[in-house]
Amino acid sequence: MKPIKFKEMNVTYAEDQPEYQPLPVYKKEGVEGEITICWHLNLFERLWLLLTGKMWMSIYTFNKPLQPLLPSATKRKLFRR
């Protein structure tokens, strides 16, 4: 799974941090600090997801409170709010 650029993206996090992979995002203005990321799955990942119906996520919180997450298979659901 790899984060990819998309039409609405307007910021890239960790662009100059070699220890991290660059993270292209759409950052929405507002107090929530909402960002949206688009991920591309390779063929094996797509088939595995289809067969198992499970997706795993690891999040670095740096020992701070966990922020709300909203995974979605469609972009429309995220940009219509």
Q: For every residue of 4-28, which 3-state class applies, written as one string?
A: ECCCCCCEEECCCCCCCCCEEEEEC
Question: Could you tell me the two tokens for 6?
Answer: 């998309």
Domain boundaries, the chain: 2-76
| pLDDT confidence of residue 80 | 72
Q: What amino acid occupies position 63?
A: N
| pLDDT confidence of residue 14 | 95
| pLDDT confidence of residue 81 | 59
| pLDDT confidence of residue 18 | 92
Q: How many CB atoms lie within 10 A of CB 25?
A: 19
pTM of the model: 0.82
Low-confidence ranges of the chain (pLDDT < 50): none
Question: Could you tell me the two tokens for 41?
Answer: 């799955």
